[in-house]
């Protein structure tokens, strides 16, 4: 197989998914695979299925002018994300059997149970599709079940964009750190809180900083998920489940958000040479993993001290390599879209190896 063509089903067509579609186009001549999008499903903007491929410029234009995607479908009907996945897995059964069908899950984070994203991933794998997602829900609520299912059907379940956007956290460990045990981690992994705390240092009001993150499409659809620490707790649960072999949900992570953080206190800390940051961490205690998310006052000597505005960083504590740190300066939509692209490239690489 020289240049595989992958059939993509987009479940969710928000900021991340549309940036991903545009990025695929921008990078087309750098990729060793090609893609056609055969289905798009949304919550309020309808859905479209076309097994021959959808005109994505029209789909984006429809979505961004608040027109229903149903208008692009030759047989429009009301259907859920799972309906779309099943319809396409049936219609493209040969592609699915050959590993060329990929479901791209980018619906919003549900902090109660990780649904419907967990069910989307399950339905995709049951239909023999690979799954890539930027949604933290599946890895935070059901990683071990979904990974076992993926293995049993010989398909990929990747979620590089779920934590630290485009920086390869999961791939770094999976691909380059064989036999290394991760004993814990510590990091700044929520961009919205990081930005808000940096802006409070500059005298910006809390609400204005939240609005700026919403305008850039970086804050969660419901920004309380960011400022209450839920997004960081979901990422922490995903990291603990995948890298430390634990079985946690975000509800097992001790959590304090930044809503109680006062701008005056942040500036006062800065005046004393310290910075307030929302820190996520996990460590092993006698075989048990404990995880927390909370604002910390950092000294200059702290490796997280220098992070500003849109920066993220994660330091892994390992048995064989000591501390390994990853820093992402200026995260954003392109970085998250790139994470999906890199997951897709891994699927293509696997197809080429067969
Ligand atoms: N934005 C970022 O910088 C970033 C970074 C890393 C990870 N993520 C994660 O990536 C995911 C997508 O983020 P986003 O910023 O693109 O969110 P978004 O702009 O709010 O888009 C979410 C999309 O999901 C659709 N949707 C919601 N529930 C659905 C359902 N049950 N079935 C089908 N579609 C459904 C929405 O439909 P409607 O359009 O009709 O509402 C919308 O198209 C989230 O899980 C987020 O946590 C985001």
Q: What is the 3-state secondary structure (H, E, C) of 123-135?
A: HHHHCCCEEEECC
> Do residues 37 and 75 share a domain?
yes
pLDDT in tens, 210-220: 999 999 988 88
> Do residues 295 and 349 share a domain?
no
pLDDT at 354 over 80: no
Task: Check residue 330 and give its pLDDT.
Answer: 83
pLDDT in tens, 96-123: 999 999 999 999 999 999 999 999 999 9
Nearest-10 Cα torsion for 54, 60, 65, 66: 70
> Do residues 59 and 91 share a domain?
yes
pLDDT in tens, 168-178: 999 999 999 99
Q: In what order do the strands lie in the sheet with 101-105?
A: 47-49, 34-41, 5-11, 101-105, 130-133, 157-158
User: Cβ(16) to ligand 1 under 6 A?
Assistant: yes
What is the tally of structural domains in the chain? Answer: 2
Residue nearest to atom 8 of ligand 1 (CA): 134
- What is the spatial distance between Cα 164 and Cα 203, in angstroms, rounded to a whole number? 26
Greater confidence (1 vs 68) lies with 68
> Do residues 43 and 158 share a domain?
yes
User: Cβ(217) to ligand 1 under 6 A?
Assistant: yes
CATH number at residue 83: 3.40.50.720
Is there a contact between 305 and 325 (Cβ–Cβ < 8 Å)?
no
> Do residues 212 and 276 share a domain?
yes
User: Cβ(246) to ligand 1 under 6 A?
Assistant: no
pLDDT at 38 over 70: yes
> Do residues 325 and 192 share a domain?
yes
pTM of this prediction?
A: 0.96
SS3 281: strand
- What is the spatial distance between Cα 37 and Cα 104, in angstroms, rounded to a whole number? 10
> Of 43, 104, 133, 341, which is best to mutate to test ligand 1, by the most ligand atoms within 8 angstroms of its C-beta?
43
Q: What is the mean pLDDT of the chain?
A: 96
In the reported structure, the alpha carbon of residue 209 is separated from the centroid of ligand 1 by a whole-number distance in angstroms of 21
pLDDT in tens, 137-162: 999 999 999 999 999 999 999 999 99
Greater confidence (42 vs 166) lies with 42
**pLDDT band (50, 70, 90) for residue 316:** very high
> Do residues 183 and 52 share a domain?
no
The Cα diameter of the chain in Å comes to 64
pLDDT at 1 over 70: no
Instruction: State which H helix or E strand residue 187 sits in.
Output: strand 182-188
> Do residues 156 and 212 share a domain?
no
> Do residues 117 and 218 share a domain?
no
Token pair belonging to 220: 């969660």
CATH number at residue 194: 3.30.360.10
User: Cβ(123) to ligand 1 under 6 A?
Assistant: no
> Do residues 322 and 340 share a domain?
no
Domain that holds residue 253: 174-330
Greater confidence (287 vs 257) lies with 257
> Do residues 315 and 338 share a domain?
no
> Do residues 160 and 17 share a domain?
yes
User: Cβ(134) to ligand 1 under 6 A?
Assistant: yes
């Amino acid at each position: 197989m020289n240049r595989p063509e992958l059939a993509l089903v987009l479940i969710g067509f928000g900021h991340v998914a549309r940036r991903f579609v545009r990025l695929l186009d921008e990078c087309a001549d750098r990729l060793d695979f090609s893609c056609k999008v055969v289905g798009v499903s949304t919550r309020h903007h309808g859905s479209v299925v076309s097994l021959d491929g959808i005109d994505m410029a029209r789909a984006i234009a429809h979505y961004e002018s608040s027109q229903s995607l149903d208008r692009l479908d030759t047989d429009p009907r009301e259907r859920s994300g799972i309906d779309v996945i099943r319809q396409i897995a049936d219609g493209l059964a040969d592609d699915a059997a050959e590993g060329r069908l990929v479901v791209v899950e980018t619906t919003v984070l549900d902090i109660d149970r990780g649904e419907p994203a967990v069910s989307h991933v399950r339905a995709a794998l049951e239909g023999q599709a690979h799954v890539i997602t930027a949604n933290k829900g599946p890895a935070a609520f059901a990683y071990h079940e979904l990974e076992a299912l993926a293995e049993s059907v010989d398909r990929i379940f990747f979620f590089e964009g779920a934590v630290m956007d485009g920086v390869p956290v999961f791939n770094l460990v999976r691909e380059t750190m064989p036999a290394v045990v991760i004993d814990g981690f510590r990091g700044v992994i929520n961009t919205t809180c990081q930005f808000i705390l940096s802006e409070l240092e500059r005298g910006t009001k809390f609400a204005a900083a939240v609005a700026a993150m919403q305008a850039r499409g970086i804050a969660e659809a419901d920004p309380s998920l960011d400022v209450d620490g839920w997004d960081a707790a979901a990422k922490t649960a995903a990291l603990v489940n995948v890298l430390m072999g634990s079985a946690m949900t975000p509800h097992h992570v001790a959590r304090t958000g930044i809503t109680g953080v006062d701008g005056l206190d942040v500036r006062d800390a800065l005046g004393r040479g310290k910075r307030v940051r929302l820190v996520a961490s996990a460590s092993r205690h006698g075989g048990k993993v404990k995880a927390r998310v909370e604002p910390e006052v950092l000294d200059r000597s702290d490796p997280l001290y220098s992070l500003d505005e849109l920066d993220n960083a994660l330091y892994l504590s390992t048995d064989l390599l000591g501390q390994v740190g990853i820093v992402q300066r200026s995260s954003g939509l392109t970085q998250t879209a790139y994470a999906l692209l890199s997951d897709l490239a891994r699927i293509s690489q696997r197809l080429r190896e067969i």
